Amino acid sequence: MDLEAFRSAVNGFLSELAADRAELRAALPVGEDDDLYELGLVDSIDLIRLLNFVEKLTDREIELEDHDFGSFYTIRGLYCVVQAVTAPDTLQA
């Protein structure tokens, strides 16, 4: 999945989160380097939901302690985290 497809999928998820909050919908869509916390699109609970969505989307498990927490604030940061995680089907036995 390239960055643009990833950004589109994450924006779709963020749209669902902001569905009942008009002030958040105004911030959508977000760009690759927009800070999701600064925009008020995610809080700590929403970040966990977002990470769960990204794990399902990419079929990769993200270990929080393995990454700089700042990586989770932007779509580009999340994408880089996903790219750094080995997909389950590429693990060697």
CATH numbers and ranges of domains, the chain: 3-86 (1.10.1200.10)
- Residue-wise pLDDT for 26-76, tens only, equals 788 999 999 999 988 888 899 999 999 999 999 999 988 888 888 899 999
Distance spanning both ends of the chain, measured CA to CA: 25
pLDDT value of residue 36: 93
More confident residue, 51 or 24: 51
The total of other beta-carbon atoms located within 10 Å of residue 42's CB is: 21
90 has a pLDDT exceeding 80 = no
pLDDT grade, residue 92 (50/70/90)? very low
**CA–CA distance from 14 to each of 22, 26, 33, 63 (Å)?**
12, 12, 15, 21
pLDDT value of residue 17: 85
Query: Cα(84)–Cα(93) distance, rounded to whole angstroms?
Result: 19
**CA–CA distance from 75 to each of 3, 6, 79 (Å)?**
9, 8, 6
Angle, in degrees to the nearest 10, between helices 44-58 and 75-84: 50
